[in-house]
Amino acid sequence: MTAKKALITGITGQDGSYLAELLLEKGYWVHGIARRASTFNTERIDHLYEDPHHPQARLFLHYGDLTDGSRLANLLESIRPDEVYHLAAQSHVRVSFDEPEFTGNCTGLGTTRLLEAIRSVGLPCRFYQASSSEMFGSTPPPQCEETPFHPRSPYGVAKVYAYWATRNYREAYGIYAVNGILFNHESPRRGPTFVTRKVASAAARIKAGLQDLVYLGNLEARRDWGYAAEYVEAMWRMLQQEEADDYVIATGTSHSVRDFVELCFEHVGLDWRDHVRFDERYVRPSEVDHLVGDAAKAERLLGWKPTVRTPELARLMVDAELGALSRPSVPAAPTPGRAVLAPVS
């Protein structure tokens, strides 16, 4: 049987990197879309590098941007993937209040651009939309597939738009398009300004004597934090079903930001109260207070179940930070021989 071809948008992000690993392990040809930047942004996938001239190479990068619809259509036409995993987005909730218009364009309309490209090219591919628990916003937990949305940020609003665009293309054109409604998932590859990575990194650096304080916003918000490496398996399973459908992916437990801080500092033997200070710049104009997902449908139909809970996640993230601090630092500019992925362009 010929290997399947997947296209991942957002391959340079946290989830994109884990998903690329998973699909390569499964024997897929993996194509990824990356943004052109003046610095390298492929750090999370450099370890997957294979020289594209090598006959065995199975990972290929292409320049592209979610705001450029004709480029997306041209890429779909030339790659002709069997499965499209749409993970790219302006994904930071706090930033979305500062850049609401860009967030709507990228995170919301970006999905329509891809779906419309699939429709106009006439590709018989399957489509995964990275939907979010942020869509539930102020609707009280537990949240499942039937829970009404009440988004509380421009990011949440954009994700609701993209969720309905995905359902609409499924209903209107019969495209196999699914929404994975994923609750917060974290890892050592998490962006450094999301609260879990920020706190894990601060706890490790304070322990190592590299800093003394960390400034945070609201400590009362509660989140259902799972492990990203496990969540990408659920994405893949959603595209292997007979019928397209939408699924919540979560651990079913919740902890406050304060709990997470305590877990990280406890792990390095420090009292968090000595090192955490409040800064209102990290407070959002409207907050999502409490998210806890009910992933019973995913367990029943996809056979997916998480194993890593928040306390273990906090410890593994702090250990990764401590490990990185004890290794010699990687030079900022690539040294000759270091594999840096170059998009084909």
Shortest Å distance, C-beta 153 to ligand GDD: 8
Residue placing its CB nearer to ligand NAP in the complex, 234 or 268: 234
Catalytic residues, by residue number, are 132, 134, 155
Q: Identify which of residues 133 and 206 has a Cβ nearer to ligand NAP in the complex.
A: 133
Q: For the chain, how big is the Rg over CA atoms in Å?
A: 20
Q: Among ligand GDD, ligand NAP, none, what does residue 10 contact (CB within 5–8 Å per kind)?
A: ligand NAP
Q: Cis link prior to 55 (omega < 30° from 0)?
A: no
Contact positions vs ligand NAP (CB under 6 A): 10, 12-16, 35, 37, 41, 65-67, 87-91, 106, 130, 132, 182, 184-185, 191
CA 327: distance to chain centroid?
26
Instruction: Provide φ and ψ at 56, rounded to 5°.
Output: -90, 0
41 binds, among ligand GDD, ligand NAP, none (CB under 5 to 8 A by kind): ligand NAP
Closest separation in Å from C-beta 251 to ligand NAP: 12
Smallest distance from ligand NAP to CB 115, Å: 15
90, interface contact from ligand NAP, ligand GDD, none, CB < 5-8 Å by kind: ligand NAP
Query: Which one-letter DSSP state was computed for residue 48?
Result: G
3-state secondary structure of 297: helix
- Compute the distance between CA of residue 151 and CA of residue 239 in angstroms, rounded to an integer: 26
Specify the residue, 110 or 170, whose C-beta has the smaller distance to ligand NAP: 110
> Taking CB within 5 to 8 Å according to partner kind, which of ligand NAP, ligand GDD, none is near residue 14?
ligand NAP
**CB-CB contact of 213 with 334 (8 Å):** no
**Helix boundaries (H) for the chain:** 14-25, 69-79, 93-98, 100-103, 110-121, 154-173, 195-207, 228-238, 257-267, 296-302, 310-326
**Which residue reads 């994975």 in tokens?**
180
Rounded to a whole number of angstroms, the minimum distance from the CB of residue 124 to ligand GDD is 29
Closer to ligand GDD by CB, 4 or 92: give it: 92
49 or 282: CB nearest ligand GDD: 282
CA dihedral angle for residue 306, residue 21, residue 108, residue 172, rounded to 10 degrees? -80
Least CB distance to ligand NAP at residue 86 (A): 8
- The token pair at 321 is 């930070």
- Judged by beta carbon distances under 5 to 8 A according to partner kind, the member of ligand GDD, ligand NAP, none in contact with residue 106 is ligand NAP
Class of residue 133 by CB neighbours under 10 A (exposed 0-12, middle 13-18, buried 19+): buried
Neighbours of 286 (CB within 10 A): 11
User: Which residues make beta-bridge pairs with 149?
Assistant: none
* Min separation Cβ 2 and ligand NAP, Å: 28
For the chain, give me the number of helices (H) and strands (E)?
Answer: 11, 13
Residue 191 binding: pick among ligand GDD, ligand NAP, none (C-beta 5-8 Å cut-off by kind): ligand NAP
Q: Which is nearer to ligand NAP, 123 or 235 (CB)?
A: 235
Name which of 156, 135, 152 is nearest 144 in CA terms: 135
Q: Which residues would be at the binding site for ligand GDD (CB under 6 A)?
A: 91, 93-94, 132-134, 183-184, 193-195, 198, 216-218, 221, 223, 257, 282, 284, 287, 291
User: Nearest-CB residue to ligand NAP?
Assistant: 13
